[in-house]
Chain A
Amino acid sequence: MSSMDEDRELVERTIQGDTKAFEMILNKHQQPLLNYIGRMVGNRELALDFTQEVFIKTYSSLSTFQSQFKFRTWLFKIASNYIIDFWRKKKIDAFSIDQIGRGDDDRAPFEIPSDERSICSRYELAELREKIDKALEKLPPHLRELFILRHVNEFSYEEIAEIKGIPVGTVKNRVFQSKEFIRQLLEEQK
């Protein structure tokens, strides 16, 4: 049984009142969801609270889930909206809500500079991972989110486009921008 079919079956069973099935959903998705929310909010306690809230919201909305879609995508859409709502209520402009769905203002050069320096090869893998995690905190949230969805949660570009409700081309462009932004930050740190 594929992961998608398994999720669908678990959702069906949960709707019919099987709490064990929902527990299985929780066990399966809690790690990827915490990886995403944690890196988005940058605070462990807040991340744990949000993860719980997102699961509770997901449970209460299960009856509206359309089985032709992937459960995982739907879950992350709820999580993404939850975080945006939180920042909106807190009146934090950092999420760049206005930038979502608009054109791309952040432009990394498409051409490879002739004098480009090697940055990543200077670090050991473990050290590089640590540096990337730190650099992520400095990334504009709308770029950080797409980077996490793509590289930490390993969603396809199409799935990310569905989660965020933006065109695939925009997603590809922003994910590329985010990686170049990180390279730039790594260079500044050096």
Chain B
Amino acid sequence: MNCLRVDQIYLYLEGELSPEEDRSINAHISFCEKCNKAVEERKILVEASQSLPEWEVPQDLAQRVLANIFPKRITLRDWVVTTAIGLSSAVLAFFAVYLVSGQTLADLFINLNRTALDLFQNIVVLSVKVAKLISVGIQIVIKIISLIIKGLGSLTTILGPEVQVGLILVTAVLTFLLLFGAKRKLLAGEKAS
């Protein structure tokens, strides 16, 4: 037998050859030092290649895949359980306040109602003020924008550069006055209420 080819050595090491070919290779490497050395060298490589470290799998990988494929649906039972827990917590909290405060049940109900009413009134007043503020703000912005558009239109067509600068200054002052007026209007509204 001639000396071994490299591809032949790998197939031999991986058990891919016929028993007959294996026997003839065994016979050859028993006396051919060069081929024997080449086989030993590649044997180490193949063994190491077959036992490379594994990549660490996160414990929840399978669950992540399943969650993607079968997204959890909230069932009617979930809704019922959540509502029941919420209601029972509210009832428990009410009785805890009742026991700790030492009030009668009627007093406790009246106080709770008052607190709820105060809270509601405060929320309503706050909402009205916020709405007022937003509407005034929008009006001011609209006025400023229209002034700027008009001013720019006439500046570029009719007036010289010096006059244009003067008009820009006047516009700035007017804007300031508008803002100041808005502030006064707001304060007047507050005093009236």
Binding site for B on A (CB under 8 A): 19, 22-23, 26-27, 30-31, 34-35, 38-39, 44, 47-48, 51-52, 55-56, 59, 108-112, 114, 116, 118-121, 125, 128-129, 132-133, 147, 151-152, 154, 157, 172-173, 175-176, 179-180, 182-183
18 contacting pairs across A/B (C-beta < 8 A): A23-B62, A23-B66, A30-B57, A31-B54, A34-B61, A35-B55, A59-B69, A108-B6, A111-B3, A112-B5, A112-B6, A128-B45, A147-B49, A151-B49, A151-B52, A154-B50, A172-B16, A179-B42
B52 touches A52 (CB 8 A): no
B68 touches A52 (CB 8 A): yes
Q: How far is the CB of B46 from chain A (nearest CB, A)?
A: 7
Cross-chain pair count, CB within 8 angstroms: 116
A26 touches B66 (CB 8 A): yes
B6 touches A110 (CB 8 A): yes
A112 touches B45 (CB 8 A): no
B45 touches A120 (CB 8 A): yes
Q: B35 interface residue, CB < 8 Å from A?
A: yes
A34 touches B57 (CB 8 A): yes
In Å, the complex CA distance between A152 and B50 comes to 6
In Å, the complex CA distance between A109 and B4 comes to 12
Q: Which of B16, B58, B61 has the most CB of A within 10 A?
A: B61
Q: Quick one: which of A31, A47, A179 contacts B45, CB cutoff 8 A? A: A179
Q: Quick one: which of A51, A59, A118, A175 contacts B41, CB cutoff 8 A? A: A118
